[in-house]
Chains A and B, each alone.
Chain A
Amino acid sequence: MNITLKVWRQKNQNAKGALETYKVSDVSPDMSFLEMFDVLNERLVTEDIEPIAFDHDCREGICGTCSMYINGRPHGPLEGVTTCQLHMRSFKDGDTIVVEPWRASAFPVIKDLVVDRTAFDRIIASGGFVSVNTGNAQDANNLPIGKDQADKAFAAAACIGCGACVAACKNASAMLFVSAKVSQLALLPQGEPEREKRALNMVAQMDAEGFGACTNTGACAAECPKEISLDNIARLNREFLSASVANPEV
């Protein structure tokens, strides 16, 4: 296969960027999308052009590092798939593919296709945890949790924090990410003691980071590689509102 790539190149956070065009030939359909970038980068080195910087690590679809906006969609054309699990058999010979970084004021570009997603870490640090110090736990089976409830919590916990939801949302809202964590812990008895504070603090931090507000377009869930459900956002709204109304300390 021969592919034409238009890739966003930007030297650093403050530089002005632009799309550059590269042709890649002899692409095997069995290659992953990132392996095609590897091949291109190796060639660029021989041509004395600095290779394209992009985030990637596990290449198994679980670490959440890879983050390319491919032909107008985060992680490309397939559903429930990260960039690293996208293979070239999903494209046709002669295709032109436009690759851009995640776009959000809360995710500034570091270089080329690499963005800074530490805003997500700060949101987790504001309340995405159960305050249990090491050694304080009771026996694991002392806390029975019904299978349905455990499964729901697991489905929310499957979030890999890649930021595709923010990238896809026209408002660059982080609600799906935040709601997944809030939901996971709201669904489990372990999360109960800090339930109200968690919702309030995480939403406050999310707002402080400069993400937009959710307008329920559903683009986030449609593009989420782990198919996190919009139900979580409704749950977050519920958690936040009931905490705002009921919590005496707010």
Chain B
Amino acid sequence: MSDLRSPLARARGLGSARDGLHHWWAQRLTAIALIPLVVWFAISLVMLSGADYDVVRAWIGSPLVMVLLILTISVGLHHGQLGLQVVIEDYVHGDGWKLALIVAMRFIAVIFGLAAIVAVLRIGFGG
């Protein structure tokens, strides 16, 4: 027998949905990308400590910083979203709550990420 699950279990769609490998791989890929990005971002944050409005805007608006910031925002939130999904799956046991929390968490990540990217572009292109 090649599949130990009952036909009912398979029909319900619980258990492996065949995207576990994609989750694992995406988490590692974003982790590797974040190594240089987080080092760069942490150093920048420390250097900008106490900087005023004009200095911060000039920094955000320079072309290289814009690219690196948008990368950090999108890759960082993607990585965080993958990690939080596992945390929710581990500790929240009711199916309804689990789904609701994962959906809410993903929506928040996308909304904040998009808003921050728009903010970076607006500063860079002088909107």
Partners in one complex: no
